[in-house]
Chain A
Amino acid sequence: MVFSWIRRGLRTGVLTTRYPAVQERLPEAFRGKPIMDASRCIAEQGCNACVQVCLPDALSLQTVVESAGNEATQLVLDYARCVACGLCVSACPQQALRMTNEYELAASRREDLRMVTLFAPPDTSDGENGKEENNGRYA
């Protein structure tokens, strides 16, 4: 009897992953981590479609007053709260959010899991205005 089990075990062969020595890839469809292209986001125009469908409140939108006294819109994506359900990705009318199958998500500080995007009003002090800063780059 015991030999039958040993035979089975040996027949199965080696299945073990070599991660972290070798990078593993999860399936394309796997919901790992949502990322955002802030240049497509229209939160400053009053859109909060993603915030409305986020049950754990990982996505949040606030109006903050900066040190200069002017108001800015702050969109926060907090990965510590995110459950990777993907509802925000479908809800966004601008396709600003995309789901990736990334899995190396651990962090030693809570702040490292917070992605903050500040939509600040135009500033005469440093020249460049508009959304060129982040254009097309999801992060």
Chain B
Amino acid sequence: MDLIHFCTRLSSACGSSEEIKAVRPLEDEIVVSLSPASLLQTVRTLREEFAATFVDLFGLDQRPSQDAFQLHLIFALDNEQSRVHLVIDLDTERPAFPSLMHDLPATDWYEREVWEEPGIQPEGHPLLRRLRLPPDWPQGIYPHRSSFAWSQNVQAAEPHHIQLESAPEGVVDYPLGPVRSGVVESGHYTLRTVGEELVDMHLQLFYKHRGIEKRAEGLPLPLLPLLAERISGASAFAHSLALCQALESIAEVEVPQRALYLRTLLAELERLYNHLGYQADLCQATGLVVAQAQFDIWKERILRLNAAISGHRYLFGMNVPGGLSRDLSEASLDMVRGLTATLQPDLESLGKLLFDSPSHRDRLEGTGILTPQDALAYCAVGPIGRASGVDRDLRRDHPYAAYADIDFEVPVLQTGDALARARVRLEEAKQSLRIIDQALERLAAGSIAVPIEQLPAGESALSLVESPRGESVHWLLVGEDGRIRRYRARPASFANWQAFPLAVPGHNILTDFPVIEQSFGLSFAGADC
């Protein structure tokens, strides 16, 4: 990465060299401090000249240590395997920045979030409405400001629900949720139909906002992974891995080789049970009951393997800052080998049988198409993005743990329909088996953790991990007391839910909706956080 060229190009794009205040190259990360005035132009330059992909946007209240609010933007430079981190200091009296929505529709939810939680104004945002905070949250109370305490008593205000404009003649609105059919997570959909055809939908999430980012503030080090795991239980290992990697980066420790390979192995086990459970859920939506049972059986087998090797069915408690909390014995590794040996041929035959079943295939083909243009505009990540032509996978583009040393393919399809999403996940499950085999082969003896005692005050670190649903971002800032000052967690589902309503209209009928929803396979808990 030619740093000089990068800085020159950025400064000239902003028109004045003073607007870029500082550039600090870290390992794989370039931190650029700039003023709000040069934000739009900088973002344009990054996207057009450097092919940067938008990753995250969040706010921070620096007070009382410094009298300022800060806005953070993160972009990924996949070609360079590095990240660009923009830090913008904002005025304390009126913290504001120019909205990026016109260029980048994906920043919609992020800007609404910084508007309501730290209270930073995105100027020019077309539709500022509540996002995460519940309807009875009073105005003027900002949870991400330093003055707000986790256990503070917040009096309920008059509930303020979002009102949709009423449907015109001949159009019917179906409200579904937040308590929905089946054992599913809580969230609300309003489906708008003309006859049988779906013409629009409105998505109302954030019924499950528990305030995890705020909970992390001031917690002692060993307790942080417990919090990260419970952002979304099905991606527990991925989230705790991202958190621990960020802490290890801050503490500048090197995790032992054995731990890196074991982390890779466990992360892939998590991806496997998620992808197999996903196929089961999709078969439930299309009514292929025997297939659902077959995939559920495999999911249960992997969960039982997890319990036998780690003590927890969902791999909670494995990641600690500095490595792993426990080693995997030879007996455990043999169990893993045994499982992958039986799963590999079975997955081939199951997959073939599944996509050759006309009843299943018919319902998936051409349903819920997310076009490649929409996927790019809304920065869809993970298998959903890859089914719509977005060729990005953090394990390959920004390798972490032991992925840099392992061979695997990243399946990408262009059609963007439900069939593509199901195929991509099945292929990824097969690749996961390949990765697990290689990790087992290359596993050497050694320690599994290095101790981390103290965190240096004022330091921060970013960590990106490919969870089963896609790119998950974790960022930590250490306060003056060595405890966490600000925790930012952006699970993959938060990014992907924004793209979901775009896949619903367009030759889909009402009964296609469960298939579309299950084909995305997104997590509400991850988005609501």
Contact = CB atoms under 8 A, between A and B. Distances in A.
Q: In the complex they form, do A and B come into direct contact, defined as C-beta atoms under 8 angstroms apart?
A: yes
A6 interface: yes
A45 to B, nearest CB: 22
Given A9-B294, A12-B297, A29 B311 contact: yes
B476 interface: no
A65 interface: no
Given A5-B290, A6-B290, A31-B317, A53 B308 contact: no
A87 B316 CA distance: 12
Interface in A82-138: 83, 85-87, 99
A27 interface: yes
Contacts of A53: 220, 222-223
B315 to A, nearest CB: 12
Given A15-B297, A55-B227, A30 B290 contact: no
A8 B307 contact: no
B317 A85 contact: yes
Contacts of A27: 304, 307-308, 311
B356 A9 contact: no
B311 A5 contact: no
Interface string A36-76: 00000000000000001101000000000000000000000
B288 interface: yes
Contacts of B220: 52-53
B293 interface: yes
B199 interface: no
Interface of B, helix, strand, loop or mixed by DSSP:
helix
A109 to B, nearest CB: 26
A1 B358 contact: yes
A8 B358 contact: no
Contact of B317 (A4, A9, A52, A86): A86
B347 interface: no
Contacts of B226: 55, 83, 85, 87
A31 B294 contact: no
Given A5-B353, A55-B223, A85 B316 contact: yes
Interface of A, helix, strand, loop or mixed by DSSP:
loop
Given A9-B294, A12-B294, A29-B307, A1 B356 contact: yes
Interface in B296-344: 297, 304, 307-312, 316-317
A8 B353 contact: yes
A55 to B, nearest CB: 5
13 contacts: A5-B288, A5-B353, A6-B290, A8-B353, A26-B307, A29-B307, A29-B308, A30-B307, A31-B311, A53-B222, A55-B219, A83-B226, A85-B226
Interface of A: 1, 4-6, 8-9, 12, 15, 26-27, 29-31, 52-53, 55, 83, 85-87, 99
Leading 8 A-B pairs by shortest Cβ distance: A27-B308, A5-B290, A29-B311, A55-B223, A31-B311, A9-B290, A30-B307, A55-B226
Interface of B: 219-220, 222-223, 226-227, 288, 290-291, 293-294, 297, 304, 307-312, 316-317, 353, 356-358
Given A27-B304, A99-B311, 12 more contacts: A6-B290, A8-B294, A9-B294, A27-B308, A29-B307, A29-B311, A30-B308, A30-B311, A55-B226, A85-B317, A86-B317, A87-B222
